Structures are given as C-alpha cells and as structure tokens.
Structure 1
C-alpha cells in the first residue's frame, strides 16, 4: 500500500517541479522508458540508488556510453529516509528532497533512468548479458549497485497483515499510527531513523534491536533521549497478531517471550543482497555481499560493485556515493584499456 502511494506522490512532486522550473535540453528522468530500451551499451549500471546515480554522473562526465536501470524510483532508500544529518555539506536534509535534487542534477546532465527489473546476469562473449523483464541488454562492463533486497524470512502474520498494520516505510504510513503504540525491529541506521520519525507521531515506540545497533552516535543519543521510545536490546519479532488489524506483536528478548500491544509493526531487519541476480558470474563474496578492491573491482574483470551490496563495515549514503564514483572511473579505465579508446573524466 505504501510503496505505490509513495511513487505516485513523488511523481506528482516531480511533475509540479518541472512545470514551474523548466530545464532546457533535458528530459524527465522520473519518466521511466518502458519501450525501446537499447540492447547494447558499454556500461550497464544496475540500481539507481545514490551509488548508481553517482556512477552515472561520473560516466556522463567521462563521455561514457551507459544505461542506468532500476525497477523502482531513482534514489532508492533515500525515498524512505525522514532526515539526513550526517552527509557533509547537507545538514538536516530529507531523503526525498535529496533524491529530487539528484534527479534534477541528472536531468541537467541529460541522464535518464530506464525502468526494468534485472533478473539475471551471465557472461557472454567478451561482455555480459543482462536479462530483464523489459528485454535483454548486452554490456561490455557492469556496475552492480542494486542495494539490498526486501526481507526474505517473514515472521508469522507479517504477510497477512501487510497494509493492515504492518509497514516497511514509516514516512509513508506513520500518520496512520498517530497517538497509537507501534513496534520497530531493526539494527541499522534506517531503522533508527524510522523510529525517531514515528516517535513524533505515535504514543509509544518499542524499538527491537536483534543485534548491536549500527547508527551515528547522534542518532543513537536521540533515540535514547526520546521519552516515548522503549529500547529493547537483543530482541526480535516472533509473530504479528490481530483480527482485522494488528493489535499485538510477540517478541523474544533476554527476558523471554512477551506480547506487546501495538497497532503497527515495522519489520526493518533482514534485508539481504539479491544474490540470484549475479550468481552465474561466480563473484567472490560472503553471504551475497561482494568482495571488491580499492577500485571497486570484483573478482571478475569488467564487473564493478558499489553501495550496500559490497562487503564492508560501513553502509552510509556518503560511502555509497564515493563507491559509485570510483566504480565509474574504474569502468572507464577498463574500457579504455580493453578497447584502446581515450575517454577522459
């Protein structure tokens, strides 16, 4: 329920912005092209989160031939982040606004994003063949920046109550829980962000942390200082219960199992890489997370990775943007070496 509303709302915001501020010689990158997607390109970027967008900007400035592909709205997780206060030079900017600013920059550079779901990639000849639901694309090089996929292991009741109390986007559905009690499960910064956002609306927020929380110290302090937030370390969601709507969440903690009387549940842990996408390539990694060197090169020549899909200790917007830029620069160097072309940044 939330995702479709979010996309419609973002599309309307973009259309309104374009109407009041025309940009010469550019096209609307939010208007995904569903037809006539080119079948061959030098570099295929899979994923238009901040890592993929950063890569596209560097490839464009380097006069590279590329295709940026995503199955969702450009910006990725940015569209679900209420506030960003740890990105250098952009104090307290909202995620959706940051995404719109990136879209505007793409538009000014003439970069568009193709709509399509990449299903599988395999080696073919001297390049790579990507099978998508919009057709096949052959590329000489790949930049993998698909982010992390949705939860695969859902607890009992989670699927049944989706749209009836279970949500994965606080900024999308938070208003439905104004004055009510909710539970948020997660250990990463985006879960903390959603809990902080919900604390401004809900009566009480139970924060379930399955493992040590990975978030900026300022976010952790803000979470601990909110009087209506109950932090439950080493706890996890076991099931979601209710009648027509959610009314309980069964959790496990160090004190054993117990029920929480809540109207909303936000299960925000358990995201994992979409390993099936690139499994045929035999890339080195761990649990689907890809191993790269300092140039964002994977174990297969011509394949680069950036963003949350990379095996690393810090997953932040600023590191993803940096990795996208490095991956693009490395891809250009790879093509230059392979084809003997001179492509400068």
Structure 2
C-alpha cells in the first residue's frame, strides 16, 4: 500500500474520528499524517481545515494528491510532531479544535525494506522515520555495551538485554553490523523463542527503533504541545501500540485531569486546575473484525480527552533515560 492509497484506513480510525468529533469550520491537527487516513475522514466534514504533520518526507510526498483535492483545506508540513505548536504558529493558527495522533512506526515504513525497520525484510539497518540523524547501524557501532543493554531493556523491554548487548559487541569486533538480517541473526543466537511466540529479535528492534527516533521523548513533548494549542472544548485523541506509549498517554491524561486543591498536610500547596476531562475511562480497543482484517490492531489502544478552559500545566522534565546525543558522543 502506498502513502497515496485513498483506501488506507488507520487502526481504530472510525473510533478516533468519532472521538475527535470534527465540525464545520473547525481546524484540526493530524499530528502523524502517515497515509492520510485521519485527514481524509476529517476533510469529509464540509468546512473543516487540517494541518498534517509528518517527519517522514515520503509520507508528505504521498499526501500531495489529497492536498490537491482538498481545495486548500489541507496543509502538510514535514516536521516532528513534538513541534506541533510551532507548526501551527507557522500557519498563522494560534489554537485548534482537535488533535489526533497515531504513535509509533507505520505499516508503510515497516513494509519498505530499504527503511530498515523490519527483521523480516532484508535491508540496511536504518530505522529513521525522518531522513536525518544517526541510523540504527550508527548506534550499534558507537554505543557501549552498557548503553546497548539499557537501550534494549528500557525501550524494547527485552529481559535478555545484557546477553544481546554482549553478542552485538562481540559481533561488531568481527565485522560492522549494518543490515537488518545481520542484527536479527545475532539476537536469535542468544534469545530463544518457542513456536507461536514473537520473533526473538522483536524487542531488540523495537528498542533500537524507539531510541533512534527518540519516540518516547517526542510523545511526551507532543502531548504537552497539544495541551497548549487546543481550544477549550477541543479534543485530543491518541492511538498507541505498545505499553510504553500507552503508559505515557495514560499518565499524562490522569495528571492533567486531576482536580486541584491542597492536602491537610500541605493546605497551602496550590495545584493547577484540570486542563483535560478524560473521555475514555478505559482505552478503546479494536474489535475482532478489525483485528482479523489487520493483526496490528490487536495491541492498539485509543485514549481521548477534552480540553478545559484552565491554563496549560507546566511541562514536566523528560525521564532520565539514555539519549541519542549522549550515546553518540560516548557520554
């Protein structure tokens, strides 16, 4: 399926757009444009305007046809979704009526062998969603054994991360690890799986991909940015695909949805008023029919909230986990 394929339907796409509740005259952010499924559905509502963001140049190029068909109602911007507030300002938009995000790697990216996301397809060990910065091969070549173990454990949730890191360091002494199959073979020698279980390299590839693209930092920043640009009554809808992402979204909304007030121990402590009303007490998940049609939907969770008229909360510091800059500097 190509980015321009108009039949593309994102996972939980119908539910996401229903929760977004677009209306005529509204301005909406499709913060992870991808194949344009959300944008297309929003534009089906007459009088809507969409600003689509994607860090992947090929996704932006694939959306040009939809731009042409939108009669000026769709604008595409190549950028990270953490910069969505700056993107809106660049379009002369101070506030939006809704923002939707589909977090993580797209099916299109996984299906392109040359992008290096999949261990099932032979290709260069790239994994970059955009077209800049270090590749996964660069990280494999530069990172210390301790950093590799931390990356694979924290972002891939691989319990054999130390063994995998040792195996990678030993292998790179013999020859550079530059292809998806070479890395998958290295991991498969130290991580065993039974028939029916996920491929042994799944978690290592996930960890490297998330790290190379700084995906969890991006998500933290994008959620805080969306809080700043949403109008009162505007809606935030996020679809995530694994526990690390969903936990960040859930914790963000729980924190922003808390009622203010001090405690009997610290009565003078002022709490920020709730900036969101949570619309999904439990995440929305795909039904059996969608999972049958698209197995990737099995792990998808949708959370949504509506912006109040309270001021945006102060953005929290990013978690103290390995950063791409530090690892590539050898810090």
Scaled by the length of structure 1, what TM-score is found? 0.33
More strand by share: 1
Which gives a bigger RCO, structure 1 or 2 (Cα 8 Å, sep 6+)? 1
More helix by share: 2
Scaled by the length of structure 2, what TM-score is found? 0.34
